[in-house]
Structure 1
Amino acid sequence: MLTALVLFISFSCLLASIQCYGGRGFDPLRKLITDQRFKRSVDYLNEEAATHYLPVYVGSQEGLKDADRVLMLPGQPNGINFSQYSGYVTVDLKAGRALFYYFVESEEPLTRPLVLWLNGGPACSSLGAGAMTELGPFRVNNDNKTLSYNKYAWNNVANVLFLESPAGVGFSYSNTSSDYVTGDKQTAADSYTFLLNWLERFPEYKARDFFIVGESYAGHYVPQLVDLILNNKMTNQTVINLRGILIGNAFIDFEDELRGSYEYLWSHGLISDELHDGIVSNCNFSSISEVCNAYIDQADEARGNVFMYNIYAPLCSISSNIPSISGFDPCSENYVYSYLNTPEVQKALHANVTGISGPWESCNFDVGINWKDMPETVLPTIKELMGTGISIWLYSGDTDGAVPVITTKYSINKLGPSVKTSWYPWYAGDEVGGYAVEYQNFTFVTIRGAGHFVPSYQPERALTFFSSFLEGKLPPRHN
């Protein structure tokens, strides 16, 4: 099991929902984990992320919404007709623990649902990734100072709330240093407390249809938060009007992740038949032998320096800044890092930079390597949610080698659902956007030509299937 843990942790960069080091080059998370991996207990992998349903802290929110209004971000293009807010919600008054959010309303906010977006990691930023490089209204230009408008932003069809969680991620912080040793359970509890307080600050959204969306390690975050919401209906607190969840390239099962990743490498020509045969013959992925480990090491080396979040994308080169075939700049993470560490930007966002140590970072590696509880699988939780009546969708960019489409297929097979609408091609415009299959209690969608960060690589296709999800419809067949 120790070897299995080592292999799992070596995937942590791959599970971080940012343009993970394609931009800034060095992979500090992998190095830190390599230094620490044999010092850590494997027991945490087997802990259940059980939640305790108790009343939570809800503080006065009077006047805080107006204070959080963002009048204009530095470098923002003209002609923007939607409102922006950002700031902090205290989730533990005694500890001084506060989570940072960025909220963009739709141009028609009264008629649109509310969506919470969560990036994974664990311990990576939804502001730097989701908002600034994926589905948010702006992307940072390569001058590190100005923003361009994303016409396929998801606030075209929803009011979108980005949360930096847990404390220690991005601009979120705590005055109690022990809070930075955290895990799945505390992250779910704090996110729930955040939501209750945020809805008091924005009471007009209390009765709004609410959806939770995320990617990668949010495959843990989302089901655990939903489980808490559905089972913690305190009569003296807000009842959240949860209608559905959507999780992309989701890390949800440890064993499936390992098996699927190497199957994907072989099926896409990144490793040889001999290495694949060796892995198939010697690995059962529930207990990794030394022989299996040796084959996996060879496979990791044999695939070379490929950007595993999109196996067909170029790496970032500061000297060339070559866009990928999708038009997405692989150096975008660099631009976001510079932009969010600009004092004028931090002031506009109401970021309390004295509360964080050092500059804003896309991931907090110290928090990530000290993660306390991380169940091997969240499939039992998803299975339970399938019986609640909420809409459940999984989606997968099909050029992602980190948490590939085949991994999700293995996990779906474990859930054992019956097919309601057979696999079919869906369309965005005149082209196939991907493929979809509707099961009895959930839907699975692929996005053609998209990597791990689907809205980055295929923004039009991403907005198309996301709109279908919100409408409770399958992605469109040919127009």
Structure 2
Amino acid sequence: MERCSHATFGFISLLLLVAITSSSGALDEQDRDKIWALPGQPPVSFKQFSGYVTVNKEHGRALFYWLTEATIDADEKPLVLWLNGGPGCSSVAYGASEEIGPFRIKRNGSSLYLNKYSWNTEANILFLESPAGVGFSYTNSSSDLKTSGDERTAQDALKFLIGWFSRFPQYKNRDFYISGESYAGHYVPQLAKKIVDYNKASSEDFINLKGFLVGNAVTDNYYDSLGTISYWWTHAMISDRTYRSILTSCNFSATKTSNRCDDAVNFAMNHEFGDIDQYSIYTPSCSAASNSTAGRRSPLRLKNTLLRRRSYGYDPCTENYAEKYYNRADVQKAMHANTTGIPYKWTACSDVLIKEWRDAQFSMLPTYKELIKAGLRIWMFSGDTDSVVPVTATRFSINHLRLKVKISWYPWYTGGQVGGWSEVYEGLTFASVRGAGHEVPLIQPRRAFRLFQSFLAGKPLPKS
């Protein structure tokens, strides 16, 4: 074997030293972010990490994450990023604490208990509070809170991932998926496109994106609006007269609604809906929830949906428990959160971001077409009792992608019962989840878990 010269040997030694130093730095950062135990947490075998990744030094924008590693064989399981929508709502409040995360919060906010159907039994789950201003994520430039929108959110999320993978290099080559719900119907495919474009331009820090899974997703303003009104009428939430009034008064193709349209929709919501949870129309609403929150704004202009109340299943007040728990000083200390002393309380949703949202893509359908061509695994699912981003809206949008059907419409099963219905297309799978609201894993955790398993396996939902 040919011997190395002294110069070559020195260069190799330098490279090894840089690699070791870089690896050591990443391990130091991981140790800094490690959660040893959350207050009131039951014993667990998996590791947890949380902290901040700076995405813009000039403005001081930093995004907060919480990683819950897989319960078994974490080194071999894929990584899944979860994003909640709003825009302006927290993945810690919803995804982590009442949907797919390992813990649930007790009513008094004093302690936690385990979620039997946590998705981290199948994958490493990374929750991200995005954009800056959501939850514990922050900016040192207050003007950022009034200029947020789709484009910056996607760009900052990509910067977060690049920084996060540098801190956790053991995940760099892992199969990576993105998931989320509601306005994450924008966040998820927009971030996926950013990653696809980034991978084309960069050969160094390739992100091994395999696909995404998104539920009750804001997709296309026109079809979402039309599908929402159809849902209201077919589910007896509004009268024939109001249905006709909305259809004749509203131009769903317009970027802004007219006063006449707003009046027709407001009449339906204020006089015909009754006191229901619009995110889960057949389950009880939380009597403690304030009627003054954004629950009376029109979901017709879905890019501006400001509704903060969520579907809560058998316990409709879960969000209240999260606000108690994550505002505790000992919890924030354990999670390495609020290290800069954010001048406001942690909340599940940011009113400022929601009201000041700037740019929003009118239709995600062109982006879906690009991502289908890129060969990603794409699943869309819908809880069928959500009246805000209903199953009819998603089906209208998918129909206008005009995809070839591979497996025709069929009922899928779990636990000996119909879990919902599914249709598999060339490049996309659709599934409804029977009896689930806007937050599918909250209302129907077992069915949502089965759906997640099938998605990761890349197999159609079971027919029996």
Q: Give TM-score, length-normalised by structure 1.
A: 0.83
User: Match of 1:336, SS?
Assistant: helix
Take 2:348 and 2:148, find their aligned partners in 1: how far apart are those partners? 18
Q: Which moved more, 1:139-148 or 1:350-359?
A: 350-359
Other-structure match for 1:297: 266
Q: Which moved more, 1:309-318 or 1:127-136?
A: 309-318
Rate the CA distance shift 1:372–1:137 in 2: closer, same or farther, 3 A: same
Residue pair 2:280, 2:312 contacting (<8 A) in 1 also = no
Q: Deviations over 1:6-53 (max 9, x none)?
A: xxxxxxxxxxxxxxxxxxxxxxxxxxxxxxxxxxxxxxxxxxxxxxxx
Q: Deviations over 1:119-154 (max 9, x none)?
A: 001111001110001100001011211111001000
Residue pair 2:226, 2:393 contacting (<8 A) in 1 also = yes
Rate the CA distance shift 1:262–1:114 in 2: closer, same or farther, 3 A: same
Does structure 1 residue 406 correspond to structure 2 residue 380? Answer: no
Q: Which moved more, 1:371-380 or 1:66-75?
A: 371-380
Other-structure match for 2:162: 196
Take 2:401 and 2:137, find their aligned partners in 1: how far apart are those partners? 35
Rate the CA distance shift 1:291–1:121 in 2: closer, same or farther, 3 A: closer
Other-structure match for 1:254: 221
Does structure 1 residue 124 correspond to structure 2 residue 89? Answer: yes
Does structure 1 residue 96 correspond to structure 2 residue 60? Answer: yes
Q: Which moved more, 1:216-225 or 1:291-300?
A: 291-300
Amino acid at match of 2:34: R
Percent of aligned pairs with the same amino acid: 50
Take 1:367 and 1:290, find their aligned partners in 2: how far apart are those partners? 24
Take 1:339 and 1:282, find their aligned partners in 2: how far apart are those partners? 45
Rate the CA distance shift 1:261–1:196 in 2: closer, same or farther, 3 A: same
Q: After TM superposition, give the deviation of residue 262 of structure 1 in Å.
A: 1.4
User: Match of 1:169, SS?
Assistant: coil
Aligned partner of 2:352 among 360, 366, 375: 366
Take 1:318 and 1:298, find their aligned partners in 2: how far apart are those partners? 24
Q: After TM superposition, give the deviation of residue 353 of structure 1 in Å.
A: 4.8
Does structure 1 residue 316 correspond to structure 2 residue 283? Answer: no
Amino acid at match of 2:149: G
Other-structure match for 1:279: 246
Q: After TM superposition, give the deviation of residue 417 of structure 1 in Å.
A: 1.0
Rate the CA distance shift 1:272–1:88 in 2: closer, same or farther, 3 A: same
Residue pair 2:26, 2:169 contacting (<8 A) in 1 also = no
Residue pair 2:83, 2:184 contacting (<8 A) in 1 also = yes
Residue pair 2:311, 2:439 contacting (<8 A) in 1 also = no
User: Match of 1:110, SS?
Assistant: coil
Other-structure match for 1:228: 194
Aligned partner of 1:347 among 319, 322, 333: 333
Other-structure match for 1:34: none
Rate the CA distance shift 1:318–1:294 in 2: closer, same or farther, 3 A: closer
Does structure 1 residue 378 correspond to structure 2 residue 398? Answer: no
Q: Deviations over 1:317-341 (max 9, x none)?
A: 359xxxx999631111111100000
Take 2:394 and 2:239, find their aligned partners in 1: how far apart are those partners? 23
Relative contact order (C-alpha < 8 Å, sep 6+): which is higher? 1
Residue pair 2:185, 2:218 contacting (<8 A) in 1 also = yes
Take 2:347 and 2:232, find their aligned partners in 1: how far apart are those partners? 30
Q: Which of the two has higher C-alpha Rg?
A: 2
Q: After TM superposition, give the deviation of residue 355 of structure 1 in Å.
A: 4.0
Take 1:345 and 1:158, find their aligned partners in 2: how far apart are those partners? 25
Take 2:325 and 2:312, find their aligned partners in 1: how far apart are those partners? 23
Does structure 1 residue 429 correspond to structure 2 residue 396? Answer: no
Residue pair 1:168, 1:356 contacting (<8 A) in 2 also = no
Q: Deviations over 1:215-261 (max 9, x none)?
A: 00001111111111111224364100000111100001111222111
Take 1:175 and 1:294, find their aligned partners in 2: how far apart are those partners? 39
Residue pair 2:189, 2:368 contacting (<8 A) in 1 also = yes
Q: After TM superposition, give the deviation of residue 280 of structure 1 in Å.
A: 3.5
Aligned partner of 1:337 among 323, 327, 342: 323
Take 2:358 and 2:81, find their aligned partners in 1: how far apart are those partners? 24
Take 2:339 and 2:187, find their aligned partners in 1: how far apart are those partners? 26
Residue pair 2:280, 2:313 contacting (<8 A) in 1 also = no
Q: After TM superposition, give the deviation of residue 365 of structure 1 in Å.
A: 1.1
User: Match of 1:116, SS?
Assistant: strand
User: Match of 1:423, SS?
Assistant: strand
Does structure 1 residue 214 correspond to structure 2 residue 183? Answer: no
Does structure 1 residue 114 correspond to structure 2 residue 83? Answer: no
Aligned partner of 2:135 among 165, 170, 186: 170
Amino acid at match of 1:453: E
Count the aligned residue pairs: 416
Amino acid at match of 1:195: L
Any unmatched runs of 5+ in structure 2?
Answer: 1-21, 290-309
Take 2:60 and 2:368, find their aligned partners in 1: how far apart are those partners? 33
Q: After TM superposition, give the deviation of residue 378 of structure 1 in Å.
A: 1.4
Q: After TM superposition, give the deviation of residue 300 of structure 1 in Å.
A: 1.8
Q: Which moved more, 1:310-319 or 1:346-355?
A: 310-319
Other-structure match for 1:27: none
Other-structure match for 2:107: 142
Does structure 1 residue 307 correspond to structure 2 residue 277? Answer: yes
Cα RMSD (Å): 2.0
User: Match of 1:296, SS?
Assistant: helix
Residue pair 2:180, 2:188 contacting (<8 A) in 1 also = yes
Rate the CA distance shift 1:152–1:62 in 2: closer, same or farther, 3 A: closer
Rate the CA distance shift 1:286–1:326 in 2: closer, same or farther, 3 A: closer
Q: After TM superposition, give the deviation of residue 62 of structure 1 in Å.
A: 5.4
Take 1:433 and 1:254, find their aligned partners in 2: how far apart are those partners? 28
User: Match of 1:151, SS?
Assistant: coil
Residue pair 1:196, 1:237 contacting (<8 A) in 2 also = no
Q: After TM superposition, give the deviation of residue 282 of structure 1 in Å.
A: 4.5
Any unmatched runs of 5+ in structure 1?
Answer: 1-57
